[in-house]
Structure 1
Amino acid sequence: MDSSIDDHIFTEIKLSAEMHRAIYLQLADEILLLIKKGIIRSNQKLPSSRKIAHLLNLNRITVTKAISELQTQGWLESFVGRGTFVSNHIPDLEPEQLRNGTNATKAQNIAGFELNELHYLVNPYFVPVAELHLDDGYPDPRLAPIKELYRAYRNQLSRGGIYNRFGSYNSPDGPDDYKEALSQYLNESRGLKTKAENILSVRGTLMGINLVCNALISPGDVIVSGIPGWQRAEHNFIHARARHIGISVDEYGIVVDELREICKKTPVRMVYVTPHHHYPTTVSLRIDRRLELLRLASEYGFIIFEDDYDFDFHYNNRPLMPLASADENGMVIYCGSFSKSFSPAFRMGYLVASENVIAHLANIRILLDRQGDHILDNAMAQILNDGTIQRYLRKASKIYEERRDYFCSLLTQNLTNAVEFAIPDGGMTIWARFDEKIDLEKLAKIAYKKGLYFSDGSIHKYANFNKNATRLGFASATKEDLQSSVAILKSLIA
C-alpha cells in the first residue's frame, strides 16, 4: 500500500453545526472533495478514526459514520489490521489547490457539454410581484370553487379500493369518470358530439399543442396561424421543425382568403386558430370565415387545432359555438382548459378529437408523461356532475362582465387620447392600442416601480406587425384595483 496521508490536510477541513446537513455527511463530502481534487490519492492510508476525531474535535462515532458512508460509495476500502485506504480503483489525479466555493460549484451553474440554445427557447420567466396587475387575461382565483374542489379531492383520497386507484398506472388518456363527465359537459355547453373515447386529459393548452406537434407534425410540414398570435404556440411549431406561415388578422378574425391562396400553392398540415376570442386581439371569427375554414380543411385535408382558451366567459350574447361543434368530417382537434377558468396554478386541460386521433395521441403521451393526475381529474368529475362548475361559471361571468364594463369606462374617462380599444364581447382582457408617442416599454417599467404590472406588448410584435399595443386584463382585479391601476396610468401618461 502507498504512504499515509499527512494529518495537516484534515486540520483544514471546515465543518458547521449550523448547516442543514449532518456533520458526518459534511465530513464525508470534504474527504471526497480531497480525493476528487487529487489532494489524497489512490492507495493512500487515512489516519485512524480516533486521530481524525482528535484533529477535528469530533466524536469518534461521527468520523466512523463518515468513513462508512464513503466505503459504501466505493471511495474508501478498509482492511482488518491494516486500516482504511483510498480505493485502488480510483485513477490518480494531478493535485489541485483547494478552490473557493464559487469555483468549486461551477458544475452547478454551467454544464460541461454543449447546449443547442435555440433563440425561441430563450424564455425569460418573470413573475411579477406588484400589488396591482392588468395581466394577460387571467381569472380571479378568489372566485374559484377552491373549497369544493378540495373536498372533492379529499373524497377521492378517502374512498375504498385503494389499490385500484393508487396501486398501479391507469389509462394515459385520463380516468373514465372524468372523461364521461367532461364529455357530457362539453356536449351541453358547447354543442359538441362526443363520447368519453373522444377526450384526452392533458395538463394544459401548451401540453396539448406540444403533444399534437409531437404526434402529428413532421419536419417541413406547413402550419398556418394568425399574426399577431400566441408565440408559445408558434415556438412549439418551430421546435417541431415545421414551416410556420402567418396570415393577417382583422376585426373579423383570421383572413381566411389568405389561407385559401396558401393552400393552392403548398400542402398545409395544420391551422392553429383561436376563433372565439383571437389571441391577442380578442376579436371573434365571423361566421362566414368559420364555415369557409371548415370547408377548406375538408377540401385540402389539413388539421384545424382550435384553441378555445376562454369559451366560458362571453357577455353580450350566447357564446359562439366552437368550430368543433360544426365539424362533420373529423378535421378539428379541440383544446380547452380549466386553468383559464379557475387559475393558472391548476393544470387541467383536455383535447377532443376523433377516437383514432385520441388513441394515437395517448400512445405518444406515454413517451412524455405516463398519465395525468387522475385524482385531480376525478375530483373535477365530481364537481362537474354536481353542478359546482356550472354555478361558478355563471357567477364569475357576471362579475367579469361588470369588471369589463367598469374598466372600459375608466379608460374612456381617463385615457381617451392615449388608448384606443374595442369593448370585447367576452374574455378577460382588452386589446389596448396606445398612442404612438407613448413608449410602451418605458411606461410598463415605470408603472411597475409604482406597483402596477402590465405587459409592455413586446411579445405581440412581429417583423410585419409592430403595433404599439398590449393586452390589459381586467378579470383578476377588483373594481378598486382597476380604479387604482388606471389612476397610475393616467398620472404617468398625462
Structure 2
Amino acid sequence: MSSPVEIPFRNVILLDRASGTPVYLQIAHQMINAIQRGVLVTGVQLPGTRALAEMLDVHRKTVVAAYNELDAQGWIEMLPNRGTFVTRKSPVVRGSALASVSDLKQYPERTGFAFEESMLLDRPVSLSRVDLEFTDGLPDVRLAPMDKLAKAYSSVLRRNNNRKYLSYSHVEGNVWFRERLATYLNNTRGLHIGAENIITTRGIQMGIYLASTLLLKKGDNVVVGDLSYYVANMIFQQAGANILAVPVDDQGISVEAVRQLCERTAIRMLYITPHHHYPTTVTLSAERRVELLNLSVQYGFIILEDDHDYDFHYNSSPVLPLASADGAGMVVYVGSFCKALAPGLRSGYVVAPQNLIRELGKMRRIIDRQGDLMMEQALAELLDEGEIQRHIKKAQKVYHLRRDLFTELLENDFSPYLTFKAPPGGLAIWTEWRRDINLMRVSKECLRENLHLPQTLLFQTGRLSAIRLGFGNLDEKELREAVRILKAALEKTA
C-alpha cells in the first residue's frame, strides 16, 4: 500500500485563500474529489493532521476539522493507534475514467456518452450589461408594485396556516388564486370560466410547451403567421410538428390562407397572438376572429391563443379574445402576469375546458410539482384587493405616454430611413427599414455606444428589413438617449 509521503498532496489540494469557502471545507472537498477520481484509492493511509498541516501550510486544527468532515461523510475511517485511511466503502472510479492529479480542479468539457444535439435556441435571447436596451416589448420592472407584493408575501409566510402553501399539493395551482384569477379574466376579457378551467404555469412559454406536448404528435401540422413568435415555433418543432406559415396583413393573420390550407391537408393546431400579433403588433380584426372560430369547428383544429400583452391598450377598449366567444371548446388560451408585473415573477396560466386542464395538470406535475403556491397566494390577495388592477391602470398611462413620445421621436428623426404605424397597444413598435441599411451593423455600432439592440429583434431577409423596438422598459430620458444613439449609429453605417 502506498505510504502518505508518496502522494503529492500539494498538487492534490490547491487552496484558494480568497475564496468564501472555509479552508477546511476546501481540503475536504478536494480530497473527496481525489477519492472519486481514483487518485486516493481505497485503503490508502492519509498523513497525520500535523504532517498534512505542514504540507499545506495551514493550522493543524484546520486539518482536524477537514478530517472530521470527511469522517462524518463516510469517506475516511480513523483507526486508533493505526492512522487515518480512505474507507474501503468509498465508491472509487477505475479504468479509463481516472484523471491525473493536474485535472482535479477541472470539470469535463464534454460528456463521455453520445446524445442528439438540437438546433433549438442555438441563438438564444442575448443579454448585455450596458445601460440601455431595446427589448421585444418587456415592461419596466421599476413600475411594478413590489412593495405591495413583498408585504403580501411576507404576510403569507408569517401566518400560522401557511403549512398548506409549503406542503405538496395535488391541484392545478393555488385554488384561491385560480378563483381570483378566473374572476379577473371574466371581468377583463369577457371569459366565462371558473377555477376548474385554469392551470397555473411559470409563464406563457411553459403553457405553450405543456399544450404542445400533450396535444401534438410527430408529423402534425401547426399553422403560424409569417412572421411568428420564434420560441413558440421551436416548441412546436420540439414536439415533432410541421410548421406551416400563412401571411399576416394589417388585419392580422389571413383567414383565407388558413382555409385553403385546411382544404388541402389536415391541420392540428393554429397558433395566434391576436391582440398584438408577434412581431408586427397588428390586431386581429373582430370579423376574422369569428371566421377562425368557425373554421376551427368545421375542420377540427385547435386554436392556441397566446395573449401575451392584452392588458395594455391605448386607443379604445380591446377586442375580446377568441376564447371569450368559444362555444365549442376549440380554444386553448395562454396568458401571464409577466408583462403586467415583471418578467422574473414567471406567473402564467392556461385556460381550457376542464377535461384538458386535468390532463395538463398531470403533465405539469412531471416537470413542476405544483408551482409556487406561496407566491400565488400573495398574487391572489393583490387581485382580491384590486392592487394589480390599479397597477395596470397606472402603468397603462405611463406606457401610453412612452409610446407617444417614441413615435414622435421616430417620426422626427427617422422618416428617411423607416416606416411604422403606432400600435394600438402593447409595448413595442414594428418598424420597416430601407433595404440598403445593414441592420446587423447598426446593432453592433449601437452596442459600442452603450445601447443593446439584440439580434433577435432584427428581421432582415431578401424581402424584408424590419426591427421590433420595445419601448416599455425605457423612461423618457432613456428613450431620448436610446434614439440619439440609434440615429448616430445609423448615420455612421448607412
TM-score normalised by L of structure 1: 0.91
Residues 1:41 and 1:425: Cα distance change in structure 2 (over 3 Å): closer
Within the alignment, does 1:63 sit opposite 2:45 as a pair?
A: no
2:490 counterpart residue number: 493
Distance in structure 2 (CA, Å) of the matches to 1:30 and 1:429: 51
Partner of 1:398: 397
Cα offset for 1:33? Answer: 5.1
Q: Does 1:429 align with 2:410?
A: no
Instruction: Give the one of 452, 461, 465 matched to 1:468.
Output: 465
Moved more, 278-287 or 74-83: 74-83
Cα distance in 2 for residues equivalent to 1:267 and 1:179: 35
Pick closer, same or farther for the CA change 1:207–1:438 going to 2, 3 Å.
same
The amino acid that maps onto 1:27 is I
Q: Tell whether the 8 Å contact from 1:172 to 1:372 is kept in structure 2 after alignment.
A: no
1:267 paired to 2:270: no
Q: CA deviation at 1:454?
A: 2.5
Shift of 1:127: 1.6
What code does the residue aligned with 1:149 have?
L
Question: Which residues of 2 match residues 97-116 of structure 1 at below 5 A?
Answer: 98-99=101-102, 103-107=103-107, 109-116=109-116
Distance verdict in 2 for CA 1:144–1:9, change over 3 Å: closer
Paired residue type of 2:195: A
Change (3 A) 1:270 1:368: same
Q: Measure how far apart 1:25 and its partner are.
A: 2.9
Distance 1:461 1:376, change over 3 A: farther
Amino acid at match of 1:208: G
Displacement of 1:403: 1.6
CA distance, structure 2, for counterparts of residue 70 and residue 185 of structure 1: 56
Deviations 1:388-412 (A, max 9, x none): 2222222222222222122111111
- The alpha-carbon deviation at position 487 of structure 1 amounts to 2.1
Equivalences for residues 235-274 of structure 1 within 5 A: 235-274=234-273
* Alpha-carbon distance in 1 for matches of 2:42, 2:182: 66
- Is residue 2:484 matched to residue 1:479? no
Partner of 1:154: 154
User: Which residue does 2:226 correspond to in 1?
Assistant: 227
Normalising by structure 2, what TM-score?
A: 0.91
Amino acid at match of 2:412: Q
Instruction: Within 5 Å, give how 1:113-152 maps onto structure 2.
Output: 113-152=113-152
2:445 corresponds to: 446
How far 1:45 moved relative to its partner? 3.1
- Percent identity reads 39
Q: Which range moved further: 142-151 or 51-60?
A: 51-60
Cα deviation, residue 91, structure 1: 7.0
Cα separation, 2, equivalents of 1:481 and 1:442:
22
Please give the per-residue CA displacement for 1:100-156, whole angstroms capped at 9, x wherever unaligned: xxx444425433233422112324342233323332111222222222222222222
Gaps of 5+ in 1: none
Structure 1 residues 47-446: aligned runs within 5 Å: 47-88=47-88, 90=92, 98-99=101-102, 103-107=103-107, 109-166=109-166, 168-446=167-445
RMSD: 2.5
Give the conservation status (yes or no) of the 8 Å contact 1:174–1:371.
yes
Mean Cα deviation higher: 348-357 or 42-51: 42-51
> Structure 2: 5+ residue runs without aligned partners?
none
Q: How far, CA to CA, are the matches of 1:317 and 1:275 in structure 2?
A: 16
Contact kept? 2:440, 2:458, Cα under 8 Å: no
The amino acid that maps onto 2:158 is S
Q: Deviation string for 1:402-431 (max 9, x for gaps)? A: 221221111111111101001111111110
Deviation at 1:437, TM superposition (A): 1.5
**Closer/same/farther in 2, CA of residues 325 and 15 from structure 1, 3 Å limit:** closer
After TM superposition, the structure 1 stretch with the greater mean CA deviation from structure 2, 68-77 or 115-124, is: 68-77
Contact kept? 2:337, 2:348, Cα under 8 Å: yes
**One-letter amino acid of the structure 2 residue matched with residue 66 of structure 1:** A
Q: Is the Cα–Cα contact under 8 Å of residues 197 and 353 in structure 2 kept in the other structure?
A: yes
Q: Structure 1 residues 183, 59: CA separation in 2 closer, same or farther (over 3 Å shift)?
A: same
Equivalents in 2 of 1:199, 1:22: separation in Å? 48
